[in-house]
A and B are shown apart, each in its own frame.
Chain A
Amino acid sequence: MPLARRLASSAGVGFLALVSLVACADPVHDAAVDALGPEAPGVPAGPDHRPGQPCLTCHGGQGPSSFEMAFGGTVFAYLAANQPAGGATIHLLDGAQHTFATQTNCAGNFWVPKPAFDPTYPVQAAVQWASATEVMRTEMRLNGDCNYCHVQPETAASPGHTWILAPSTPVPEVSCR
């Protein structure tokens, strides 16, 4: 076969290989997913899994989960402990004055599926748990991945995980699912 044809066919094959490898590759996102680690023992993938981890890393539309969320996060009872605040209500208000309210489950996790509320940013948020109330001091401007910023412990780069009770306040009796 003439040299030109051999080069052309090899280049075509190489191009196919390159396109297929690059098409679904996002090393930054893949690294973020890998950094979450495996599921906790005894807690399968589902509504109760991975409290405190950034939900939209997997549920933000880039995969690996096909269940896409507009908002997701976890509410804990106290800043300094990992006790979940089950049955807490999350209030959201977007830039177009649309509101949305949802609740945490017994693991403290909450989520809003994308079709249910596709907000206009910025979005304000507040949490209520029985008589306790906390209003978010800043606004969400990029996405609804609460646990992306709310990382435990509190540092110069994080206000700590989302909490609702002052240290001396007893945990209320609130039912959750």
Chain B
Amino acid sequence: MKRAPFVGSAVGHPVAALALALALLASGATVVACSSNDGVGQGRDYLGGEAGVATCPVVNGKCSSSGPSYAADVAPILAAHCTGCHGPGGENADVPLNTYDAATAPKVKIISASLVSVCKMPPPPLPSLSADDIATLRCWYAQLHPAK
């Protein structure tokens, strides 16, 4: 009897041929399901984003004799970076920084400057303050009676 090759013998047998056909059909359908492309292209309508590296600025500058003022120098920094949490409705509203009296409370004065200097505040992953802002807050807090 002539020996048929493996595939040929499978095709030659009716049940095996049916099973092979079903297997090919299933594998084809499965491949399509796994590689579905919903048409959303990479980056389509992507809003963009910025990457960077977290660093804490090194601040060595000396404070001037006149010192920063709360209204002109400090309040804008606190409003931009702090009162979102440390203000009305914020998650840290119990430690407010949105008014002169609140920002000069004894506990706040001691803690705030050191935390800001080492970029513990604002807490990561929020961007840390710039070197200038850190210097402003440090110098202001260093004054015995911080100027309004």
Contacts and interface: CB of A to CB of B under 8 A. Distances in A.
Given A17-B23, A21-B30, A124-B125, A103 B47 contact: yes
Interface in A1-25: 1, 5-6, 8-10, 12-14, 16-17, 19-21, 23-25
Interface residues of B, number: 54
A125 B126 CA distance: 8
Contact of A9 (B16, B30, B36, B44): B16
A166 B89 contact: yes
A17 B19 contact: yes
Contacts of A93: 54, 124-125
Interface stretch (B63-71, B79-87, B99-107, B132-140): B79-87
Contact of B51 (A20, A63, A98): A98
A31 B27 CA distance: 20
Contacts of A9: 6, 9-10, 13, 16
Contacts of A97: 53-55
B53 A98 contact: yes
Given A9-B10, A112-B49, A131-B79, A63 B34 contact: yes
Q: Which 9 A-B pairs have the closest CB atoms?
A: A20-B27, A93-B125, A133-B84, A17-B23, A102-B49, A24-B34, A166-B89, A169-B89, A9-B10
